[in-house]
Amino acid sequence: MALGKDYAGQDCALARALELVGERWTLLVVRDVFYGVRRFSDFQAHLDIPRAVLTARLSALVDGGVLERRRYQDSPPRDEYVLTEAGVALWPAVYALAQWAVAFLPTAAGAIREFAHVTCDAVVDPAGLCAVCGRVPPATELETRPGPGMATYHRDDPVSVALRRPHRLIEPLQPALAEARA
């Protein structure tokens, strides 16, 4: 029997979510938007994703209400992509999947990135809990910092270079990208 292309026969919330974010590359695009990537060329350079695939994933995420497309330049026309409320609400799922991989598919060097609660200056645990204040901070209160595995991470695209320093989630990475390109 051939593998179906959708979950039409499934009356399930998870199946509906997978219709939108379950295709290959999609969650990596969402992850990058959390990291502050907003522009097509930066997604493409960081993910090594074919243009057509990236175009399709961004369009699906915009159509699905996860991302909003905003024009930042008129001539030539250029857009950037930002998380909507629905997109920001994906953070717990993105973080949980990453932490699952750290626990069950570890690399010898450890996690490339850690996430810290900015208010308390404390790295959150695998469940996302801040040991200082005892709560799970939202993505808007977190920053990504180099983890122990960063020492063996050798990508040199501008996004990877910019993310070698702490960066507040969701905030645009553009100033750091300009420095990384210089």
- Each domain of the chain, given as residue ranges in start order, spans 13-86, 90-181
Phi/psi zone of residue 155: left (φ > 0), alpha (ψ -120 to 50 degrees), beta? Answer: beta
Q: Chain-wide mean pLDDT for the chain?
A: 92
Per-residue confidence (pLDDT) for residue 61, from 0 to 100? 98
For the chain, helix, strand, coil in percent to 5 are: 45, 15, 40
Per-residue confidence (pLDDT) for residue 11, from 0 to 100? 81
Mean pLDDT to the nearest integer, 138-158? 93
pLDDT higher for 66 or 175? 66
Per-residue confidence (pLDDT) for residue 120, from 0 to 100? 98
Per-residue confidence (pLDDT) for residue 3, from 0 to 100? 44
Please give the Cα distance from 35 to 86 (Å, whole number): 16
- Digit-coded pLDDT (tens) for 26-49: 999 999 999 999 999 999 999 999
3-class secondary structure per residue, 9-70: CCCCHHHHHHHHHCCCCHHHHHHHHHCCCCEHHHHHHHHCCCHHHHHHHHHHHHHCCCEEEE
pTM of the model: 0.91
Per-residue confidence (pLDDT) for residue 180, from 0 to 100? 60
Per-residue confidence (pLDDT) for residue 175, from 0 to 100? 64
Q: Which residue has the tokens 């270079």?
A: 161
Mean pLDDT to the nearest integer, 128-135? 97
**Residue 140 pLDDT greater than 90, yes or no:** yes
Q: Does domain 13-86 have CATH number 1.10.10.10?
A: yes
